[in-house]
Amino acid sequence: MNSRIAKLLQAPSIILLFLWMIVPLGMTLYFSVVRYNLLSPGPLEFDGFSNYAFFITDSAFLPALINTLILVGSILIITVVMGLALALLINRPFFGRGIVRVMMISPFFIMPTVNALIWKNMLMNPVYGIFSVIAIAFGAEPIDWLSEMPLLSIIIMVSWQWTPFALLIFITSLQSQDTEQQEAAQLDGASSWAIFKYLTLPHLARPIAVVIMIQTIFHLSIFAEIFVTTGGGPGYDSTNLAFLIFSQALLQFDVGVASAGGVIAIILANIVAFFLIRAVGKNLMVQS
Amino acid sequence: MSSLEIKKLHKNFSNYHAIRGVDLQIEKGEFTVFVGPSGCGKSTLLRLIAGLEVVTSGSILLNDQDITDTSAAERDLAMVFQSYALYPHMSVAENMSFALKIAKVDPKIIAEKVADAAEILQLTSLLDRKPKALSGGQRQRVAIGRAIVRQPSVFLFDEPLSNLDASLRVQMRQELSGLHKRLKSTMIYVTHDQVEAMTLADKVVILNAGNVEQVGTPLNVYYNPASRFVAEFIGTPKMSFIPMSDDIKKLIANEYDGADPRKLTSSTWLGVRPESVTLSSQLLTKAGLTGKVSLVERLGAETLVYIDYLGEHKITARADSLASIEAGADIQFSIDFQNVHGFDDDGLRLSPDVTDNLIVGNV
Interchain CB distance below 8 Å, B73 and A191: yes
Is there a domain that residue A44 lies in? no
Contact in structure between A225 and A158 (CB atoms under 8 Å): yes
CA torsion through residues B316, B317, B320, B324, sign: negative
B14 touches chain A (CB under 8 A): no
Is there a domain that residue A10 lies in? no
Is there a domain that residue A212 lies in? yes
**CA-nearest residue of chain A to B158?**
A180
Interchain CB distance below 8 Å, B89 and A202: yes
Interchain CB distance below 8 Å, B73 and A180: no
Is there a domain that residue A122 lies in? yes
State the average pLDDT over residues A177-198.
90
Label the pairing between strands B31-35 and B186-191: parallel
Assess whether pLDDT exceeds 50 at residue B129.
yes
**Which residue in A180, A188, A288 is closest to B89 by CB distance?**
A288
pLDDT at B190: 94
**% of chain A surpassing 70 pLDDT:** 97
**CA-nearest residue of chain B to A185?**
B99
> Binning pLDDT at 50, 70 and 90, where does residue B249 land?
confident
B79 touches chain A (CB under 8 A): yes
**% of chain A surpassing 90 pLDDT:** 28
Q: Give the Å distances, CA to CA, from A284 to A171, B62, B163, B259.
A: 18, 41, 31, 80
Is there a domain that residue A15 lies in? no
pLDDT in tens, B144-170: 999 989 889 999 999 988 888 888 888
Is there a domain that residue A43 lies in? no
Interchain CB distance below 8 Å, A183 and B103: no
B96 touches chain A (CB under 8 A): no
Is there a domain that residue A27 lies in? no
pLDDT at B45: 92
CATH code for position A242: 1.10.3720.10
A180 touches chain B (CB under 8 A): yes
pLDDT at B284: 53
Domain that holds residue A94: 49-287
Is there a domain that residue A11 lies in? no
Nearest CA to B157 out of B84, B80, B85 is that of B80
Q: What ipTM was assigned to the predicted interfaces of this complex?
A: 0.80
Contact in structure between A234 and A121 (CB atoms under 8 Å): no
* C-alpha distance from B308 to closest chain A C-alpha (Å): 46
Q: How many domains does chain A divide into?
A: 1
Which strands, in side-by-side order, build the sheet including B269-272?
B240-243, B269-272, B341-343
**Which residue in A187, A203, A288 is closest to B50 by CB distance?**
A187
* C-alpha distance from A142 to closest chain B C-alpha (Å): 49
**3-state SS class at A56:** helix
**3-state SS class at A133:** helix
Label the pairing between strands B4-13 and B203-208: unpaired
pLDDT in tens, A70-91: 999 999 999 999 999 999 998 8
Interchain CB distance below 8 Å, B81 and A288: no
Supply φ then ψ for residue B265, to 5 degrees: -70, -20
CA angle B29, B230, B240 (to 5 degrees): 140
State the average pLDDT over residues B89-100.
92
Interchain CB distance below 8 Å, B88 and A186: no
* Domains of chain B, start order: 4-224 (3.40.50.300), 240-353 (2.40.50.140)
* C-alpha distance from A202 to closest chain B C-alpha (Å): 7
Count of C-beta atoms within a 10 Å radius of residue B160:
26
pLDDT in tens, A217-234: 889 888 888 999 888 778
